[in-house]
Amino acid sequence: MLRRGLLAAALALAATGGAAAQDRSITVASTTSTEQSGLFGHILPIFTRDSGIAVRVVALGTGQALDVGRRGDADVVFVHDRAAEERFVREGFGLERRHVMYNDFVVIGPAADPARIAGLTDTTEALRRIAGARAPFVSRGDRSGTHAAELRLWQQANTDPAQGRGQWYREIGQGMGPALNTAAAQGGYILADRGTWLAFRNRQDLRVLVEGDARLFNQYGVMLVNPQRHAHVKAADGQRFIDWILSPAGQAAIASYKVGGEQLFFPNATQPEPVS
């Protein structure tokens, strides 16, 4: 009787192990731009097909995504604020940071363009004109990589948008898609990543007005959450995802994602690390 009970327990344990093997999954904390642009919807099924590992995405602003990693609530972090990423690794929350792909930011605004910024290639001059005109500007205000880039640009423009807070400067604390919707509804200016803009459908009267400034370069990086900080991190499967996205297959999957025939992200894992 005892032997029969032990055998049943062993079979139950084996069955549980088999189910776990079939249900392999990882959690990736990432930016709203990688999800709302449709990139993840394109590349993650390819990874799952190749590896047998499902991916659950927690899409937040970069700062919040890094906080998820700090708490150990994700296995991988895939974001776009290099200074914050390097700090995350330096503090011991993540392992080696690797660059994956890039696109660029653009300044978008209404066709009427009350601040007269269309065609400028100096983003800081564009921001000074927007502030001078007190034209509506929508900020994500969510500690995202895009928000961090926007704040750096205001600083480089020697302009403090907080002086217009609640008036022409409008912080909404939301992701790229809702921020673009707000700009469209209010006829406002906004800094957006090009990938989400290209995938955005509710453009109404908005146009790309400023682009091509080297300051608008937008690099994405990936890191494994440190399993020495959080023992439950699925290090092997998380590293499998990182290795894949840096591999020729993963880089080709990124390059193949297009909207309206236009490529949204440009893989650069095999190129020298871009200078910040």
Residue 12, burial from CB neighbour count under 10 angstroms (0-12, 13-18, 19+): exposed
- Asked if residue 29 has pLDDT above 50, the reply is yes
* Rounded Cα distance, 229 and 94, in Å: 9
Instruction: Assess whether the region 25-101+219-267 and the region 103-216 belong to the same CATH fold.
Output: yes
Q: Once rounded to an integer, what is the mean pLDDT over residues 17-23? A: 47
- Asked if residue 15 has pLDDT above 90, the reply is no
Give how far the C-alpha of residue 239 lies from the chain's centroid of Cα atoms, to the nearest Å.
19
- Asked if residue 10 has pLDDT above 50, the reply is no
- Asked if residue 273 has pLDDT above 70, the reply is yes
Q: What are the residue ranges spanned by the domains of the chain?
A: 25-101+219-267, 103-216
Q: Once rounded to an integer, what is the mean pLDDT over residues 224-229? A: 97
- Asked if residue 253 has pLDDT above 70, the reply is yes
**For residue 211, what pLDDT band results from cuts at 50, 70 and 90?**
very high
* Rounded Cα distance, 42 and 150, in Å: 28
- CATH superfamily entry for domain 25-101+219-267: Periplasmic binding protein-like II (3.40.190.10)
Range with the lowest mean pLDDT among 23-27, 40-44, 127-131, 238-242? 23-27
User: What does pTM read for this prediction?
Assistant: 0.85
- Degrees to nearest 5, angle at CA 265 with 253 and 144: 120
Helices (H), the chain: 2-22, 32-36, 39-51, 62-71, 82-90, 123-133, 145-156, 176-186, 194-199, 235-246, 248-255
Give per-residue pLDDT as tens, 88-111. 999 999 999 999 999 999 999 999
Nearest Cα neighbor of 97 from 219, 253, 266 is 219
Q: Once rounded to an integer, what is the mean pLDDT over residues 36-48? A: 95
% of the chain with per-residue pLDDT over 70: 91
Q: Once rounded to an integer, what is the mean pLDDT over residues 205-224? A: 96
CATH number for the 103-216 domain, one of 3.40.190.10, 3.30.1360.20, 2.102.10.10, 3.30.70.150? 3.40.190.10
pLDDT at residue 276, rounded to an integer: 57
